[in-house]
Amino acid sequence: MIPQDPTVVGIDNLENISDITALSCHYSGEYLFCGKDNGAVVLYSAATGTELGILYSHTKGTEVNYLACGEKSDLIVSADASSRFMVWKIIMKDHLTVQGPLLDARIPNYSINQIVLSATGEQILVSTKVSDTIYDIRSGVHKTSTFPERLSWKWIDHPRDPTKLIHITAKTAHTHSWDDPSEPSYSVDLTVESNVDLEMIVKDVAACSDGCKLAIEFAKTNSLLSASNVLILETKDFEEPYGSITELTPPYVKVLPEIEHIIGNVGRQLLFLDKKMWVCSFDLEKFKGEYSRHFFIPEDWLSVNRGMILKVTSKGDLVFVKRDEIAIIQRGLAYKEAVSV
């Protein structure tokens, strides 16, 4: 069967439309959530790219700079430039709506760097450069751990244990309990032979291949748009106390230098932009020195001042943002050109 041509939908460039500053995909693959620089959180159709309406708003004129959608909990969390964050309940009936807010709070004095939703939907972690705070969503009760300023880190909900989180820097990874994140229960030294410098920024961390692997993306402090190095590690390596990861997962050593930016994953497929701005993928479980090249992305879609805002839905559709425009590329992964490394 010959695959249908890739389709690009949703491009719209009307006057007086606010820039899109944050993006998250609903786990169904049917909807997109977009945060805007006017404070609105807006729902889009992933099938047509049509704006379906405003779900809720932060303070008018305050940029929404973070969005996340919980898969099992049906929650959406957003944060803005004033360090205010909100948690809303997603309601699926004839159409998607939200109810809430379940939690509406602000972190004083410091910008929010990251928010992590627990898999159970009961807690969230709000992280700044000097503190980590765990909130109980229902009660609002919270516990804060403070420390000296840190350069770079990322938290990720442990993909194989819903009671734990993983804290990652360029040098180490620590496993913490959701109930008490102040002290790590496990510690792993990332002493791999790679180009990861201790001064690099941890740009992103993604759980892949049904939670069996973690893809960690690093960047130099003066080049946040591009990945300087990528590590793919086994999640099981974070489950033994005080271990040490001293080598990269062997099959991926040759393909990792080709990665410019990790987009996400669909099943066992890791999607990435290569150095020539092609959308590519490879099977994390069956990789044997060959990846697939799918389609080219025009550079002007990626070199805007807000950096790359691109995601993949659970249906394998690619979503790109350029200022106030959104483009959804459907069936783009059906076309494959094999590349050997």
Predicted pLDDT of residue 62 = 94
Q: Looking at the structure, do residues 286 and 191 belong to the same domain, yes or no?
A: no
Q: Per the domain annotation, does 4 fall within a domain?
A: no
Q: Looking at the structure, do residues 201 and 296 belong to the same domain, yes or no?
A: no
Nearest to 36 by CA among 233, 323, 337: 323
Q: Looking at the structure, do residues 239 and 299 belong to the same domain, yes or no?
A: no
Domain that holds residue 151: 20-257
Q: Looking at the structure, do residues 197 and 297 belong to the same domain, yes or no?
A: no
Q: Looking at the structure, do residues 248 and 265 belong to the same domain, yes or no?
A: no
- The pTM (predicted TM-score) of the whole model is 0.86
- Choosing from 257, 276, 305, the residue where a domain stops is 257
What are the pLDDT digits (tens) for 15-72? 457 899 999 999 999 999 999 999 999 999 999 999 999 999 999 999 999 999 987 7
Q: Looking at the structure, do residues 316 and 230 belong to the same domain, yes or no?
A: no
Predicted pLDDT of residue 306 = 57
What are the pLDDT digits (tens) for 213-238? 888 888 876 654 555 688 888 887 77
Q: How many CB atoms lie within 10 A of CB 93?
A: 6
- Choosing from 209, 240, 257, the residue where a domain stops is 257
Q: Looking at the structure, do residues 246 and 332 belong to the same domain, yes or no?
A: no
CATH number, domain containing residue 178: 2.130.10.10
Q: Per the domain annotation, does 8 fall within a domain?
A: no
Predicted pLDDT of residue 15 = 46
Predicted pLDDT of residue 7 = 53
Q: Looking at the structure, do residues 44 and 59 belong to the same domain, yes or no?
A: yes
Task: Please give the chain's pLDDT, 341 residues, in tens.
Answer: 444 555 555 545 444 578 999 999 999 999 999 999 999 999 999 999 999 999 999 999 999 999 999 877 799 999 999 999 999 999 988 889 999 999 999 999 999 999 999 988 999 999 999 999 999 999 999 999 888 878 889 999 988 888 999 988 877 888 888 988 777 776 777 655 555 566 678 888 888 888 888 888 888 766 545 556 888 888 877 766 655 554 555 677 788 888 888 899 998 899 999 988 899 999 988 888 899 999 998 877 765 545 678 899 999 999 988 888 888 999 888 889 999 88
Q: Looking at the structure, do residues 284 and 159 belong to the same domain, yes or no?
A: no
Q: Looking at the structure, do residues 305 and 250 belong to the same domain, yes or no?
A: no
- Choosing from 257, 276, 295, the residue where a domain stops is 257
